[in-house]
Amino acid sequence: MEGKEEDVKLGANKFAERQPIGTSAQTDKDYKEPPPAPLFEPGELTSWSFYRAGIAEFIATFLFLYITILTVMGVKKSPKCNSVGIQGIAWAFGGTIFALVYCTAGISGGHINPAVTFGLFLARKLSLTRAVFYIIMQCLGAICGAGVVKGFEKNSIFETLGGGANIVNHGYTKGDALGAEIVGTFILVYTVFSATDAKRNARDSHVPILAPLPIGFAVFLVHLATIPITGTSINPARSLGAAVIYNRDHAWDDQWIFWVGPFIGAALAAAYHQIVIRAIPFKSRA
C-alpha cells in the first residue's frame, strides 16, 4: 500500500506548474523520429500483415462508397430527404470516414483514399510497394461498393439520379472544379498529417486527440463547401468507383479533375507539413 500511495503522490505532483500548450509545451515523453520507409520493400510481399492491410482498405472503401452513394441518391430521390440536403450528405461522408478510419487505423492506417496514400508516400511514411497496393485495393473496393448500390436501385432510377458520379456542376468551369479539389484535398491531407504526427503526440501528449475525429470533420467541412461545385470528390477512388458503374460520357469527361486535383492537393499538403510545420524546433534550447 505504501508503494501505491507514493505512486499517487507522484502522479498528483508530476506537473507542479501549469503546462503550456502548443510548440512551447514540455513533457517528459521522449520523441524519436521514425526512419523513412524504404522505396521498395520486397519483404512485404511475403507478409500476411501486408495483405491484411490491403483487404482492410478494400472493405473500408467498399463500405464508404456503399453508404455515401446511397445517401446521395436517397437525398435526390425522396422528397422526405429534401430537408437533409447538402448538410446530410456532408455528414454522411464525414461520419463514415470517422467510423472507418477508427476501425482500420490499427491495421492499414485507415487511408481509404488514394490521395491520402499518395501524400503519406511522398512523406516516406510507407513504401511504394504498399502505396500502389493500397491504391489498387481502394479502387476495387470503390467499384464494388458503387456496384452494390446499383443493384439496389432500378436501372432507370440509378441513371436518372446520376449514379452518385462526380461531375462539374452547371455554373462552374473545369478550372473552378480543379481548384476546389486541390484546396479540399489539401485540407484533408493536412489534417491527416497533423492528427497522426508522432512528434505532435509526444509534444502535446497532455492534449488528448482522437485522430479519426478531426479527419472525419475535415471531410464534412470540405463537402459542405464544395458539393455545389463538383459534388466533392477529394478521393479519386470514390470518383472512379461511381464513374465505372454509372459509365456515362459526362462522368468520364471530368474524371481527370478528380485525380489530378486530389493528387496535387495531397502533394502540397505533404510538402507544407514536412517543410514548414515539421521545421519548428521540437524543444527550445537554452
Give per-residue pLDDT as tens, 92-121.
999 999 999 999 999 999 999 999 999 999
- Cα–Cα distance, 229 to 177 (Å, whole number): 6
Give me the pLDDT at residue 20, please: 42
CATH 1.25.40.10 fits 42-279, yes or no: no
Residue count of the chain: 286
Residue-by-residue DSSP string for 114-160: HHHHHHHHHTTSS-HHHHHHHHHHHHHHHHHHHHHHHHHS-HHHHHH
- Cα–Cα distance, 19 to 71 (Å, whole number): 44
Write down the residue that cell numbers 521522449 correspond to.
30
* For the chain, domain boundaries: 42-279
Report residue 205's pLDDT band, with 50, 70 and 90 as the boundaries: low
Burial of 168 (0-12, 13-18, 19+ CB in 10 A): buried
Write the CB contacts of 133 (distance below 8 Å, at least 6 apart in sequence): 50, 54
Q: Is the pLDDT of residue 43 over 90?
A: no
The cell for 83 is 430537408
The predicted-structure confidence for 252-277, as pLDDT tens digits, reads as follows 999 999 999 999 999 999 999 988 88
